[in-house]
Amino acid sequence: MRGGMGGGIRGLYADVERAERTVQTADGITTVRTEQGVVDSAAADSLSFSLASGEAVTVVIDEDTSVVTFEESEFTNRRGMTRMRMAPTEVEAAEIEAGAEVIVTSDSEDDSDFVAARIVIKPAEAEGVDEADEADEAAADEAVEEAATTDA
């Protein structure tokens, strides 16, 4: 994970498909996984998604599973300056849309099914930002050209 937190949540797991660790406690051994993929289907009791390698993964969802998405919201600081920030919002698992990018943390005891502890729906990358910038630049260029011809 070169670059640390660069890119926020999008950059944190940019190259990671799956991380797995084994934890031994007084209650036994638990395998904890963090996986990143694209949702194939979601229901109230399970989530199916595909890793970048094409491997299909299904995790169980229970009443303790936390599902979080991020929404852009306006924030005013103490100095009265307003800015936009990504704010977490809890949603129901069945609301996860196919095609959404997710980071799933799940665990399994005694090699049973993996149960999702937390599902984070990654924020979609801004679409059309480059196109909008290009359109703004083109409009500015036209305005400059028009001003130059009217002044002449």
Q: Is 27 helix (H, G, I), strand (E, B) or coil?
A: coil
Per-residue pLDDT tens digits for 59-115: 999 999 999 998 888 888 888 888 888 888 899 998 999 999 999 999 998 778 899
Strand-pairing partners, residue 87, are 71
Angstrom distance (rounded) from CA 61 to CA 5: 28
The answer to whether 30 touches 108, Cβ cutoff 8 Å, is yes
At which residue do the structure tokens 């399994």 appear? Answer: 108
Per-residue pLDDT tens digits for 21-64: 999 988 888 999 999 999 999 999 999 999 999 999 999 999 99
The set of residues, in sequence order, having a beta carbon less than 8 Å from that of 135 and lying 6+ positions away, is none
150 phi/psi in degrees, rounded to 5? -75, -30
Using only C-alpha atoms, what is the Rg of the chain?
A: 22
The answer to whether 30 touches 109, Cβ cutoff 8 Å, is yes
